[in-house]
Amino acid sequence: MPKTEEGEKAFIARAKQGDVEAFGELILQHEKVVYHVTLRMLRHEEDAKDISQEIFLKAFKNIGNFDERSAFSTWLYRIAVNTSIDEIRRRRGKQTDSLEQELESERGRMRKQVADGKETPEEYLLRQEKAAEIRQALELLSPEHKAVLILRDIQGFSYEEIAEIVELPLGTVKSRISRARNQCKAELLKTGERKGEPVRQNKRKEGGFHEM
C-alpha cells in the first residue's frame, strides 16, 4: 500500500499500465470515503455498494487520463460525486430508497448499541429521529448542493478540498454550502414547529449536520 507521495506515484504509474493489483492498492486507502459519500447521497446501503463498484470501475478505465495535477484522492472523489449526482438525476421521480430496509438497518444498529450499553433505547430512538429529520431535509436539496454539504459537514473536507473535488471556484463552493445549510435549517425548523418543539438557536459559529 502506498505510504508516501512517491509510493503513490509508483502505484499510479503501474495502474496506468493496466496493473490491477497496483490500482487495488490505491483504492484501499479511499474506498471507505467513497462508500460513505455514495451512501449519504443515495441513502441505501446496497445502492451505495453498487455505485461504489461502478465508481472504481470508471476510475480504472480512465486512470490513463488522470493527469496527476491533483491528488489521486481528489480525482477519485470527483468521480464519486459526479457518478452519485448522475444516479440521483436518473432516478428523480422514482422511489429510490426502501424505507423498510432502512428501518430494519436502524433497528439492527439499535439492538447492537443497546446491547453494548452505549445508549438506552430511548436515547437511541431520539437521536435517530433527529438524524431522520436531517436526512429528509437533505433530500430537498439539489444533488449539487447535497453533495457539497455532505463533503463539508459530514465528511469534514475543507472548503479548498471541496472546490478541487467539484471543480468550482472557492467562493461558489462556500455560497452553495451556506445556501444548503440555510435550506436544511429552515426545513428542520418547520418540522420542529409541526411537532410543537421549542425553537432553539444554533450557537455554533459554523452549522454542521453530523447526526446522520
Q: What is the mean pLDDT of each run of 10 residues along the chain (212 residues)?
A: 74 95 94 95 92 97 94 96 94 53 45 57 70 84 95 95 97 96 90 68 51 48
Query: Which pLDDT belongs to residue 98?
Result: 43
* Cell numbers standing for residue 134: 436531517
All three cell numbers of 7: 509510493
What is the reported pLDDT for 79?
Answer: 98
Q: How many CB atoms lie within 10 A of CB 187?
A: 18
Residue 210 CB partners (closer than 8 Å, separation 6+): 153, 154
Tell me the DSSP string of 115-161.
HHTSS-HHHHHHHHHHHHHHHHHHHTS-HHHHHHHIIIIIS---HHH
Cβ–Cβ under 8 Å, residues 119 and 127: yes
CB atoms within 10 A of CB 119: 15
* pLDDT at site 41: 94
Residue boundaries of the structural domains of the chain: 1-95
CATH code that applies to domain 1-95: 1.10.1740.10
Summarised one tens digit per residue, pLDDT across range 126-138 is: 766 777 788 888 8
pLDDT score at 74: 96
Contacts of 125 (CB under 8 A, 6+ apart): 110
Q: What is the pLDDT of residue 58?
A: 97
> What is residue 28's predicted lDDT score, i.e. its pLDDT?
94
